[in-house]
Structure 1
Amino acid sequence: MFNSDPVLSLQQADIYQDTKLVLGDVSFDIHKGEFVYLIGRTGSGKSSLLKTLYADLWLQQGKGMVAGFALENLKPKDVPYLRRKIGIVFQDFQLFSDRNVEENLKFVLKATGWTDKGKMTNRISEVLMQVGLGTAHKRMPHQLSGGEQQRIVIARAMLNEPLILVADEPTGNLDPGVSDQIMSVFKQINNAGTAILMATHNYDLLHKFPGRTLRCMDGQVVELNG
């Protein structure tokens, strides 16, 4: 079904939190356009795995390739370039409370090397339309509901047209109806070709929005069938 190189690949990777091995011998690929859930109990290693993918934690053993970057050879100066290719969506929104939506998004564009004001304005409009908040430019974070704030966070993650979105419990602070709306946004982005790896505790989502599922358990990552 997928004939291109994977956008994410781990081969016999050991995932550490400080000096503690949390996941051993991890191997899996994610290709363009795939939607993959990462499940497991609290403390099972989900967040450590995601942090390794965007180089918040270093890959100490094994091989990893994310958006064309080899994690085992990554240098600190390469990390910003890697993160331009990955969209990261956190559970806590991490929006600047003293800036409006447009200013929050413009900050990311400037930080990742954009300089043309017209192009920045256009890109911000595009991602806000993508998440269904096309008129929210001038609103402050406190004027947005939790679901709206999470949509802004998804828009922020999409600014640099990432090859893959990595989402850590993106519906963890949202009620079920809003969670479904956020999942629909993710699905639209995924259907347009962006791969998504989403850690979640919410197993209802797996039934409503089926996808490939990886589980962290007993220090390993196993693929669930069906």
Structure 2
Amino acid sequence: MTEPILELRDATVTQEERAVLAGVTFALAKSEFAYLVGRTGSGKSSLLKTLYADLPLLVGTGEVAGFNLAKLPAGKVPYLRRKLGIVFQDFQLLSDRTVTENLLFVLNATGWSGKARKQQRIQEVLTQVGLSGVGNRMPHRLSGGEQQRVVIARALLNEPVLLLADEPTGNLDPEVADGIMELFTEINHAGTAVLMATHNFQLIDRFPHRVLTCQGGQLLDSGRK
């Protein structure tokens, strides 16, 4: 296995001071793709939140994109997240701004400078997700699949080493979901590791990868012998 982009060892994932997963040990290699599955409430979202430091890692050790999760001061969390792309099921786009303004908001918040450089990066990611012509549209003028592609474009702005996706196809029709999966596959082949929470086993059958299962307070790994 190549050098991991994320690694947890004997970690306990906690939500509101309650352990939802214990003894979590797994690593994800650079440019690897893995699914995260399990019933609602089994700990999928809590595990993802721990990886992007929305929940603290209080027990065990963990490293993501070179950052030590167990010893990560609050002031360093934004620097970790700049190395990650995070894709949510419910889009979380700013409804009062155009697509370009949504993306510009992220670039400004993460320290980009130079108007021409920012515009170029926005056009690059929109082209990458197949939406080069929608920059001036408002989010509500886009279909669900198009909105999710904008969310993925937003996640790609800072050229993340790891993409964390929480049920990214949960609100989409099967045909649209396949298109999103093909996009994730392209992103993965370009060198970005992907960890995707899903309950869509038809997608897993069509796009097979390693599967991590949250079950009974543990994380089971299809890649572990």
**TM-score if structure 2 supplies the norm length?**
0.98
**Partner residue, 2:9:** 11
Cα distance in 2 between the residues matched to 1:44 and 1:97: 31
**Partner residue, 1:87:** 85
Match of 1:193 among 187, 191, 196: 191
Secondary structure of the corresponding residue to residue 62 of structure 1 = strand
Cα offset, 1:19, TM superposition: 1.1
Structure 2 residue identity aligned to 1:103: E
Residues 89-120 of structure 1: per-residue CA shift (max 9 Å, x gap): 00000001110000000000000011211111
Q: Percent identity, aligned pairs only?
A: 62
Cα distance in 2 between the residues matched to 1:225 and 1:105: 36
**Partner residue, 1:135:** 133
Structure 1 residue identity aligned to 2:216: D
Structure 2 residue identity aligned to 1:42: T
Cα distance in 2 between the residues matched to 1:60 and 1:109: 31
**Partner residue, 2:96:** 98
Aligned CA RMSD, in angstroms, stands at: 1.0
Cα offset, 1:225, TM superposition: 5.2
For 1:42-81, list aligned pairs within 5 A.
Answer: 42-81=40-79
Structure 2 residue identity aligned to 1:139: R
- Whether 2:119 is the aligned partner of 1:121: answer yes
Secondary structure of the corresponding residue to residue 62 of structure 2 = strand
Structure 2 residue identity aligned to 1:20: R
Cα offset, 1:184, TM superposition: 0.6
Secondary structure of the corresponding residue to residue 41 of structure 2 = coil
Gaps of 5+ in 1: none
Cα distance in 2 between the residues matched to 1:101 and 1:194: 23
Match of 1:26 among 2, 24, 27: 24
Cα offset, 1:136, TM superposition: 1.0
Structure 2 residue identity aligned to 1:179: A
Cα distance in 1 between the residues matched to 2:210 and 2:80: 24
Cα distance in 2 between the residues matched to 1:155 and 1:225: 30
**Partner residue, 2:221:** 223
- Whether 2:170 is the aligned partner of 1:172: answer yes
For 1:127-166, list aligned pairs within 5 A.
Answer: 127-166=125-164
Cα offset, 1:224, TM superposition: 1.9
Secondary structure of the corresponding residue to residue 7 of structure 1 = strand
Residues 65-109 of structure 1: per-residue CA shift (max 9 Å, x gap): 000000000000001000000100000000011100000000000
**Partner residue, 2:110:** 112
Moved over 6 A (4+): none
Structure 2 residue identity aligned to 1:127: V
